[in-house]
């Protein structure tokens, strides 16, 4: 193969291969490239000034995509320029996006691989160490984020994710219309959300937000009231049903301690069954639950209440929604289900925000999907110390897997 053929195979615009070396035992290919004749336009890497003359030359060796079984590196001849703005500076080369020893398309291949596989696996696949893969992926994501326009924020979601004993909570702000996380904040205080409004949005951007979907968490409500007095708060269905599931679990636990013997055995291990929705259970699991209900009417009642609460969001008229909620609360009378009564009080305390669902249509299930995506990333990555990286990762996931979101909405 002649050097002109290598030039064609390599494909480095404006450059030609002038030397190559094949090491068969180690399966390595090395190509030396320099500018083609006539390609003499130099750009300073500082502020992008165009220059005609070179100051001196130097060489850089970078990894490129493998050629069949051969790990390929390219030694590229580069120029330095004497720039009126910056002094002596390296030239800007589109194929070399960073100081790291990789060609752009190699970084893109690694970044793309990171979208569907864990860092460790990608590292093994490309023969890199995990820390290099992470740094590379971060650059890839930053380039992607830098090159796109962000849609306006009109409906926002606020949620929190529990990270663990040490880091505690992560506050997640998302765009409900695009299903994309926008910002992460440490902890879940009023100050956390204040920081988002203050640092991330202009007064104009804040005024464009019409609705905010969130959990019944007082600090977030206070922050919203202060920063977006015009914005409608809509309490999220997913979170309210989570509170209902928690109440069922409290009933279950109380019964577990009250009863002994066989009944106790039956209650044991039914936690997840009780938290699941009836429509999501198969026949065998429904039978298991029915056996439990036959023995304990109290748990049955709590479970039915949890299941029927979800229908509250089938109503589109305030009056009808309110009537349904009232009849739901009426069913609690004489039942002595303390956790359910507590939930009812909580719903009444947040009535405006629940009824706002009828006044302001917000997509349901988006917060849940965003939350789920981030949790999936955390599970896969194990220990994101860099929250910027996690955020970019989650944004990219939302942008590439929009069909996942649509499915969630339809469900």
| Cα separation, 377 vs 382, whole angstroms | 8
| Cα separation, 52 vs 84, whole angstroms | 12
Residue 42 touches Zn ion, criterion: CB under 5 A: no
Contact 94, 60 (CB under 8 A): no
Window contacting Zn ion (CB under 5 A); options: 75-83, 214-222, 270-278, 375-383? 75-83
Identity of the residue, 42 or 289, whose beta carbon is nearer to Zn ion in the bound complex: 42
Contact 223, 193 (CB under 8 A): yes
Q: How far is the CB of 147 from Zn ion (least distance, A)?
A: 22
Pairing status of strand 211-214 against strand 155-164: parallel
Q: How far is the CB of 53 from Zn ion (least distance, A)?
A: 13
Window contacting Zn ion (CB under 5 A); options: 36-44, 158-166, 186-194, 331-339? 36-44
Identity of the residue, 85 or 386, whose beta carbon is nearer to Zn ion in the bound complex: 85
| Residue 211 Cα to chain centre, angstroms | 21
Which residues are registered as beta bridge partners of 51?
42
Identity of the residue, 52 or 279, whose beta carbon is nearer to Zn ion in the bound complex: 52
Identity of the residue, 83 or 193, whose beta carbon is nearer to Zn ion in the bound complex: 83
Contact 373, 397 (CB under 8 A): yes
**Residue whose structure tokens are 């979101």:** 405
Identity of the residue, 86 or 113, whose beta carbon is nearer to Zn ion in the bound complex: 86
Residue 85 touches Zn ion, criterion: CB under 5 A: yes
**Residue whose structure tokens are 């305030």:** 318
Q: How far is the CB of 43 from Zn ion (least distance, A)?
A: 9
Residue 101 class from Cβ within 10 Å (0-12 exposed, 13-18 middle, 19+ buried)?
Answer: middle
Task: Output the DSSP codes for 40-73.
Answer: --EEBTTT--EES--SEEEEEEEE---BTTBEEE
| Cα separation, 59 vs 78, whole angstroms | 6
Q: How far is the CB of 44 from Zn ion (least distance, A)?
A: 3
Identity of the residue, 44 or 133, whose beta carbon is nearer to Zn ion in the bound complex: 44
Residue 83 touches Zn ion, criterion: CB under 5 A: yes
The residue from 86, 118, 281, 295 that contacts Zn ion (CB under 5 A) is: 86
Window contacting Zn ion (CB under 5 A); options: 37-45, 140-148, 164-172, 210-218? 37-45
Identity of the residue, 83 or 110, whose beta carbon is nearer to Zn ion in the bound complex: 83
In 10 A of CB 13, how many CB atoms? 8
Q: How far is the CB of 57 from Zn ion (least distance, A)?
A: 18
Window contacting Zn ion (CB under 5 A); options: 49-57, 148-156, 214-222, 391-399? 49-57
Cα of first residue to Cα of last residue in the chain, in angstroms, is: 58
**Residue whose structure tokens are 């007082």:** 218
The residue from 10, 29, 44, 367 that contacts Zn ion (CB under 5 A) is: 44
Residue 51 touches Zn ion, criterion: CB under 5 A: no
The residue from 28, 30, 43, 46 that contacts Zn ion (CB under 5 A) is: 46
| Cα separation, 340 vs 308, whole angstroms | 13
Window contacting Zn ion (CB under 5 A); options: 86-94, 153-161, 352-360, 370-378? 86-94
Pairing status of strand 211-214 against strand 232-235: parallel
| Residue 58 Cα to chain centre, angstroms | 42
Window contacting Zn ion (CB under 5 A); options: 24-32, 80-88, 169-177, 375-383? 80-88
Identity of the residue, 33 or 83, whose beta carbon is nearer to Zn ion in the bound complex: 83
Q: How far is the CB of 85 from Zn ion (least distance, A)?
A: 4
Buried b (16+ CB within 10 A) or exposed e, 343-362: bbeebeebeebbbbbbeeeb
Which residues are registered as beta bridge partners of 175?
156, 180
Contact 33, 62 (CB under 8 A): no
Window contacting Zn ion (CB under 5 A); options: 76-84, 221-229, 323-331, 334-342? 76-84
Identity of the residue, 98 or 288, whose beta carbon is nearer to Zn ion in the bound complex: 98
Q: How far is the CB of 134 from Zn ion (least distance, A)?
A: 31
Q: Which residues lie near Zn ion (CB under 5 A)?
A: 44, 46-47, 49, 83, 85-86
């Amino acid at each position: 193969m002649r050097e002109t053929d290598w030039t064609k195979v390599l494909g480095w615009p404006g450059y030609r291969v002038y030397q190559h070396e094949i090491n068969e035992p180690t399966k390595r290919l090395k190509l030396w490239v320099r500018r083609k004749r006539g390609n003499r336009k130099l750009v300073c890497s500082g502020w992008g000034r165009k220059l005609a003359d070179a100051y001196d030359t130097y060489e850089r060796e970078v990894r490129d995509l493998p050629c069949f079984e051969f790990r390929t590196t390219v030694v590229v001849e580069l120029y330095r320029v004497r720039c009126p703005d910056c002094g002596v500076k390296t030239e800007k080369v589109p194929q070399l996006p960073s100081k790291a020893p990789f060609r752009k398309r190699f970084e893109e291949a690694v970044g793309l691989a990171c979208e569907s596989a864990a860092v460790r696996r990608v590292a093994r696949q490309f023969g890199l160490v995990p820390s290099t893969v992470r740094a590379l992926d971060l650059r890839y994501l930053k380039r992607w984020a830098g090159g796109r326009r962000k849609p306006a924020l009109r409906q926002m979601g606020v949620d929190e994710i529990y990270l663990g004993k040490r880091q505690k909570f992560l506050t997640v702000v998302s765009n409900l219309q695009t299903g994309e996380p926008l910002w992460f904040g440490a902890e879940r205080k009023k100050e956390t959300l204040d920081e988002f409004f203050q640092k991330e949005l202009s007064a104009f951007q804040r005024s464009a937000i019409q609705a905010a979907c969130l959990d019944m968490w007082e600090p977030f409500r206070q922050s919203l009231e202060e920063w977006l007095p015009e914005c409608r708060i809509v309490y999220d269905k997913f979170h309210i049903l989570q509170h209902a599931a928690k109440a069922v679990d409290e009933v279950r636990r109380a019964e577990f301690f009250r009863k002994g013997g066989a009944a106790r055995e039956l209650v044991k291990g039914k936690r997840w069954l009780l938290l699941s929705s009836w429509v999501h259970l198969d026949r065998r699991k429904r039978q298991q639950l029915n056996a439990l209900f036959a023995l304990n009417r109290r748990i049955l009642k709590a479970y039915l209440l949890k299941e029927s609460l979800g229908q509250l969001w089938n109503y589109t008229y305030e009056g009808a929604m309110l009537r349904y909620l009232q009849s739901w609360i009426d069913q609690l009378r004489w039942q002595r289900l303390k956790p359910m009564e507590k939930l009812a009080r909580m719903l009444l305390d947040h009535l405006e925000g629940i009824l706002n669902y009828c006044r302001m249509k917000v997509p349901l299930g988006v917060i849940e999907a965003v939350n789920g995506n981030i949790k999936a990333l955390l599970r896969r990555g194990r220990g994101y110390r860099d929250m910027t990286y996690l955020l970019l990762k989650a944004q990219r996931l939302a942008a590439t897997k929009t069909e996942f979101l649509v499915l969630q909405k339809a469900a």
